[in-house]
């Protein structure tokens, strides 16, 4: 499972946060790597989400953000986390589709959130999987 490819102890983005924000926003190499990491981690969140929904008995979501809401309806993630995970998905769209110029200040902050929130998502999904195995 994609979610297990990245262990709880090693999220690959953490080294980017060792750089001060002012250095991060001036280094193209770090920015491009961070964009890709954001894309990969957020895509894992989406892939897991869509897979769970596709194998459930609820109606398919109309958007990726709604997919997160559906996980809450299935009591897989708490309602108070919907906004957090949905925000990550919205940022993913900005990064992937380049709808506008990316603010690297915002990307730096979002990457920090993503790393923390990815761990939360991973824990919630793995706990749910353990629960349904019982």
13-133 is classed CATH 1.20.120.580: yes
Torsion angle, alpha carbons of 42, 43, 49, 52, to 10: -150
In this predicted structure, what is the pLDDT of residue 103? Answer: 81
Per-residue tens of pLDDT for the chain, all 134 residues: 566 655 554 566 566 678 888 998 899 888 888 888 888 888 888 899 999 999 999 998 888 888 999 999 999 999 999 998 888 888 777 777 665 677 888 888 888 888 888 889 999 999 999 998 87
CA 93 to centroid of chain Cα atoms? 11
Rounded to an integer, what distance in angstroms lies between the CA atom of residue 101 and that of residue 76? Answer: 34
């Amino acid at each position: 499972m994609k979610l297990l490819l990245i262990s709880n102890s090693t999220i690959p983005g953490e080294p980017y946060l060792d750089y001060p924000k002012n250095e991060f926003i001036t280094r193209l190499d770090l920015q491009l790597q961070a964009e890709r990491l954001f894309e990969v981690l957020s895509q894992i969140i989406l892939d897991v989400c869509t897979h769970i929904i596709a194998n459930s008995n609820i109606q398919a979501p109309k958007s990726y953000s709604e997919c997160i809401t559906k996980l809450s309806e299935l009591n897989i993630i708490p309602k108070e986390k919907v906004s957090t995970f949905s925000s990550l998905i919205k940022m993913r769209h900005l990064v992937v589709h380049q709808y506008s110029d990316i603010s690297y200040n915002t990307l730096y902050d979002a990457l920090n959130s993503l790393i923390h929130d990815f761990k939360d998502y991973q824990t919630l999904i793995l706990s749910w999987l353990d629960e349904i195995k019982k």
